[in-house]
Structure 1
Amino acid sequence: MKLLILDRDGTLNRSRDDYVASPDEWEALPGALEAVARLNQGGWRIVLATNQSGIGRGLFDMASLNAIHAKMHRQLAAAGARVDAVFLCPHAPEDGCACRKPEPGLFTQIGLRYGVPLGTVHAAGNALRHVRAAQAAGCRTHLLMTGKSEHLRGRVGAGTMSDLAALAPDLPAGTHPHDDLGAFADWLLALPAIPEPSPRP
């Protein structure tokens, strides 16, 4: 199975200084839905791993979050795209949970749910905490220069890890940079196909 784990805010949709707390505040980034569609067509199954501490802080409830995701799924479907599942941490930072990124709990849950070794899984997001959580879980890490990392765009060559390491030394070693989700999709779809293991006689 080709499984990809994405962040949500700043990766798939525009991030805000506070929280995306209602469907009206959820706005897809240009080209992001189409990038998901191309990845789906290339055989990739996509899940989201997202911190949603606004729930734990009492700023919005699960009904509001479900409505946001209903809008997201409708817009994805209209673009011919699909996200299989959303794994979320609803806790506030002071709760000390194991699932709030940069802790790897969400990624561990995903690996268990899908029965996929996380060392084979690519994970992409725009925030340091997403990349750190992915690295801690053993995933292959990618930083998108959107949202919280938009300031790096134009300063890091696409795929140039040495430039990224100099500008963002706190990132896990080996993290690949990409301009946005569309550029990451191009990179991933250009990888050589990995042959499926032959069935045992």
Structure 2
Amino acid sequence: MSGVRAVLFDRDGTLVADVPYNGDPDRVRLLPGAARAVRLAREHGLATGVVSNQSGVGRGLLTTEQVRRVNERADRLLGGLDTWVFCPHAPEAGCDCRKPRPGLIRTAAGRLGVDPADCVVIGDIAADVLAAEAAGARGVLVPNPATAPDEVARYLDRSAPDLPTAVRAILRHTELQDGGRSR
């Protein structure tokens, strides 16, 4: 993982508790270790961002403004990330931004001024890892109880039990590749 310059996190089920189609900032709850993982990445000079499918907008269940307010609340609780990118389209829209397609990762990388190949995407389902691969980034799965067992088995070699462990592994591998110069 040499050359890692940014960590992109999935939002729901990875950083915050998954509340389906959440449009209420008061319902945002960080998952254990989320703030610590973001802080760890930032302390080591990595840019941070969120890439999230928000199909509730395309389905008419919430507005982009509601998504923005939820993101702002999560951002405050997490200590501030460098970029937030979300796909507002319904799954059947066929857009390029909806994970597992690469659009969100490419957009976030562009906003951060890094190449997608210099990003690691951390998420809780296969679509997160697949989107990373499609964009030329690397993906890490941090499964939760909602992660399909076949996805856990498929990405066992690219998974971590929790977010801080995932970020520490990225940092450790990066330091090994660049001789400790990543700081």
Q: What interval of TM-score do these two structures reach, taking the shorter chain for normalisation?
A: 0.7 to 0.9
- Aligned residue among 107, 118, 123 for 2:116: 118
| Structure 1 match to 2:65 | 63
User: Does the Cα contact within 8 Å between 2:47 and 2:112 map onto a contact in 1?
Assistant: no
| Structure 2 match to 1:158 | none
TM-score by length of 1: 0.78
Tell whether 2:70 aligns with 1:83.
no
> C-alpha deviations, 1:55-98, integer Å up to 9, x for none?
11111112211221221122123xxxx31111110001121111
1:144-183 to 2 correspondence within 5 Å? 144-146=142-144, 148-149=146-147, 168-169=153-154, 171=155, 176-183=158-165
How many angstroms does 1:177 deviate by?
0.8
- Aligned residue among 67, 72, 80 for 2:74: 72
| Cα distance between partner residues in 2 of 1:8 and 1:138 | 20
Structure 2: runs of 5+ lacking an equivalent = none
Code of the residue aligned with 1:24 in structure 2: it is D
> Aligned pair in 2 of structure 1 residues 74, 112: CA closer, same or farther (>3 Å)?
closer
| Cα distance between partner residues in 1 of 2:40 and 2:92 | 39
1:30-49 to 2 correspondence within 5 Å? 30-49=32-51
| Structure 1 match to 2:15 | 12
Q: Which has the higher contact order (CA 8 A, sep 6+)?
A: 2
Which structure: larger Rg? 1
How many angstroms does 1:147 deviate by?
5.4
| Cα distance between partner residues in 2 of 1:144 and 1:31 | 12
| Cα distance between partner residues in 2 of 1:40 and 1:23 | 24
How many angstroms does 1:3 deviate by?
0.9
User: Does the Cα contact within 8 Å between 1:141 and 1:175 map onto a contact in 2?
Assistant: no
Structure 1: runs of 5+ lacking an equivalent = 153-163, 197-201
User: How many residues align structurally?
Assistant: 176
Q: CA RMSD in A?
A: 2.4
Displaced runs of 4+ in structure 1, greater than 6 A?
Answer: none
TM-score by length of 2: 0.85
| Cα distance between partner residues in 1 of 2:27 and 2:127 | 23
How many angstroms does 1:187 deviate by?
1.4
**Which has the higher mean CA deviation after the structures are superposed, 187-196 or 29-38?**
187-196
Code of the residue aligned with 1:99 in structure 2: it is C
Give 1 or 2: higher helix fraction.
2
| Structure 2 match to 1:159 | none
SS where residue 139 of structure 2 aligns? strand
> Aligned pair in 2 of structure 1 residues 70, 111: CA closer, same or farther (>3 Å)?
closer
| Structure 1 match to 2:172 | 190
| Cα distance between partner residues in 2 of 1:136 and 1:70 | 28
